[in-house]
Amino acid sequence: MPEHSSHISSKIQHVAIIMDGNGRWAESRNLPRTAGHKQGIEAARRVVTLAGDMGIPYLTLFGFSTENWNRPQEEVNDLMGLLRYYLKSETAELHKNGVKLCVIGHRQGLAKDIVSLIEHAESLTKGNDKLILCIALNYGGRQEILHTTQQLIKEQVAKGEVLDQNEIEEAFTSRLMTSGLPDPDILIRTSGEQRISNFLLWQCAYTEFVFLDTLWPDFAKEDLLKALEEYETRDRRFGSIKRSKIKIQKK
C-alpha cells in the first residue's frame, strides 16, 4: 500500500478523473481538436506528478471509452496516435518516479502495438508503489458489469455452486477490472458537464462527485486542490446517518 502524505487528508485514497473538454478548448482557440488532445496529454502529465507529490495513493484517468469509437475516424486515429506517444514517452519516466501503471478496458479492441506497449509499461512498473496510476482505455462501466456477471455465472455453473448474497458481492467485486483497487473516494469531471458517462458505475456507488468548469487542458494544481477541498466538506455516510443524529431510545 502506498504511504500517505501529510499534504492531503488520509481519508483520500483514490481519485478518479473524467478528463473532459479537450475539443472545446481547441475550438475556442480556432485550433483543430487534435491540438486540444495534445494539451490534454500535458494536463495528464501534470496531474500524475501532482498526485505523486501530494501522496494520493491511487489515481484513475478515463482515457478512452467504448463509446469514443463513434467519433470521426480521423479523430480516433489521432487519439490512438497520442496514446502510442504517451506510452512510449512516459513509461520510463513513470518507472523512474515510482509509479505503477495499470490499464483497464477491453484490449481486444486496441491495435496490437498499443497492447504491446501497455503490457511493457505494466511489466516494467509492476513493482512500484509511490502511486498506482490506472488508465481506462476502451472501457465502459456497463460492459464491465455485464462481462463480470457472465464470467461469474459461467464459473458457478461449471462448479455447481450457489453463493449467498455476501459471497456473490465479494466474488463479483474480485472479478472486476479494478480488482485490488479501492473504490474512488472522489470523482472529478472537468468542462462543466455533470454526468459520469458510463465510468466505474459499480465502483462509484458511494463516491463523491465534484464537477469543475475548467476545461481539461487547463487543469492545474489549483483545480485539483479545489476539488479535494470540496471533498473535505462532504459528509460520507455510505447510506447511514451521522452518529450524532442517531437517537437512542431509552427503555
Cell of 41: 496529454
Q: d(Cα 2, Cα 57) in Å, to the nearest integer? A: 5
Q: Coil, strand, or helix at residue 245?
A: helix
The candidate with the shortest Cα–Cα distance to 221, out of 25, 18, 47, 13, is 47
Active site residue 68: yes
Catalytic residue among 22, 30, 53, 68: 68
The CA-atom distances, in angstroms, between 135 and each of 27, 66, 121 are 26, 14, 12
Q: Name, in order, each residue with C-beta under 8 angstroms of 22's C-beta and a sequence gap of 6 or more.
A: 33, 36, 37, 39, 40, 215, 216, 217
Which residues are catalytic, by number?
20, 68
